[in-house]
A = this chain, B = another copy of it.
Amino acid sequence: MERTQLKRRAQRGSHDRATIDAIIDEALVCHVGFTAPHGPMVIPTTHVRLGDLLYLHGAAGNAMLSTATECCVAITLLDALVLGKTAMHHSVNYRSVIIFGRATRIDDPDAKRAALAALLDKVEPGRADRCRPPNPRELAITLVVAIPVTEASAKIRTGPPVTEDDPADADLPFWSGIIPLVTTRAAPIPPRT
């Protein structure tokens, strides 16, 4: 687990699986890093976790999914802006996860269907049963890969700005505190007919 050893601000880190899973499950997108022929590459994509596996999907010809065997997946939830009385003590509150692992292609049609259904149910519970499931052709042109959520770590910052190092700073006449960031779903919009 050398890669997941927390280096900077290790007190903010965790290897607790319940903590890691909750962040993965709340996030709607992840960023997948891998080494492409031309160098480092990062691609945003949707994901879903089932047990110990993180599933990604894409078109059958997707270069990332078919070549990114060794990868690093970063998942980040931004919770608040943190404003200190000094420039130095500005920060952000966040919950993030980093997963290292090898992406393996899922060929079993039932396992592919289960992963794709879980992806829909994550968007909206029960959605997989409220649309037409993939037919054999659609399943064939969809590539699904899985990465184990075993070599993973979480990093979290919560709470107010840290106390200023210098007592003189604490008395500065500037506002300090946090501005929470909230992501909500607006009213659904049907397509024009």
A191 at the interface (CB under 8 A from B): yes
* CB <8 Å contact, A42 and B186: no
* CB <8 Å contact, B31 and A74: yes
* CB <8 Å contact, A83 and B177: no
* CB <8 Å contact, B175 and A179: no
A53 at the interface (CB under 8 A from B): no
A167 at the interface (CB under 8 A from B): no
Contacts of A38 in B (CB 8 A): 2-3, 100
CB distance from A89 to the nearest CB of B (A): 8
Q: Within the assembled complex, what's the spacing in Å between the Cα atoms of A88 and B112?
A: 13
- Chain A positions 134-150 with a Cβ under 8 Å from a chain B Cβ: 134, 138, 142
Query: Do A161 and B63 contact each other (CB < 8 Å), given the known contacts A39-B35, A81-B123, A185-B180?
Result: no
* CB <8 Å contact, B29 and A78: yes
* CB <8 Å contact, B181 and A76: no
CB distance from A25 to the nearest CB of B (A): 15
Task: Digitize A69-92: 1 where CB-to-B-CB distance is under 8 Å, 0 elsewhere.
Answer: 011111010100101111110101
Query: Do A46 and B131 contact each other (CB < 8 Å), given the known contacts A87-B120, A161-B191, A185-B181?
Result: no
New contact pairs (14) apart from A31-B74, A87-B133, CB-CB < 8 Å: A32-B42, A33-B72, A41-B72, A43-B74, A44-B94, A87-B120, A87-B128, A88-B138, A90-B123, A90-B131, A130-B175, A160-B191, A175-B190, A180-B189
21 contacts between A and B (CB under 8 A): A3-B36, A3-B38, A28-B92, A29-B92, A29-B94, A33-B33, A38-B100, A43-B74, A44-B94, A44-B96, A83-B124, A83-B127, A85-B131, A86-B134, A90-B120, A90-B123, A131-B174, A160-B192, A161-B191, A178-B189, A178-B191
